[in-house]
A and B are shown apart, each in its own frame.
Chain A
C-alpha cells in the first residue's frame, strides 16, 4: 500500500508563473489536508478537502491560491502569479476519516517550491 505521494518533489518557478502541486492520498483515504512550511518556520494549515468538496480553507491566502480534490485524480494546490514569499515546503496529508480532530494523518514527502 503506497503512502501519500506528492509531485513534483522540487519545483522552481519564476515570479509571475503558476505552480501546480499534486497530492495522491493513500489508498482508501478520501480526506486531504495541505500545509505550508516557510523557511525556518513551523507548519501552518492551509486547507482541508474531501472528494469534490472544500471543507475548511481558513488557512489559505485570500488571493492567488486555490485547491481542489476532484472525484478522480489527485488533489491539486494551485498558486497563480507566484512571488518569492511563496517559496516554501508544501506538505499534503491524508486520512481515512473526516475532520482533523481525532484522526491520524499520513504525510507525503512534500514539494519544495522555489520562486526565483
Chain B
C-alpha cells in the first residue's frame, strides 16, 4: 500500500463542473502539498498545507490532520485546468508523492 493514495486516478469533467480530488496519507507529515503537472511536463506548486484550508482563485485545498486526508477542489472548471494533480506529503527531509490524478475538462 502506498503511503500517499489519491483518488480518482482519472477524472473527466464538463466545463463548469465542480471537481474534487482526494488524498489520504499514512505517514506523519510536516506539510501536505498539491502540485500540478501540465501535459508538457512542467510542475507547479499549487498549495502547501499544514492545517485548515487555503484558497487561490478557483482552487481550494483542505486538510484534516486527524483523518490524514486532504482534498483539492476546483470550482467552475475550465479546459485549461486539464493536467495531472499530484498530492505529496513531506516529512523532515523527504517527500512522498501520490500517483497523481489525471483531470480532463471538456468544453
Contacts and interface: CB of A to CB of B under 8 A. Distances in A.
Contact of A104 (B43, B45, B92, B100): B45
B93 A107 contact: no
A100 B33 CA distance: 10
A33 interface: yes
Query: Size range of the interface on B?
Result: 20 to 34
Contact of A102 (B41, B44, B48): B48
A96 B47 CA distance: 16
A101 B91 contact: yes
A35 to B, nearest CB: 8
A55 B86 CA distance: 25
Contacts of B91: 100-101
Interface in B44-66: 44-45, 48, 50
Nearest to A33: B95
Interface of A: 33, 35, 41-45, 48, 55-56, 58-59, 89, 91, 93, 99-107, 109-110, 112
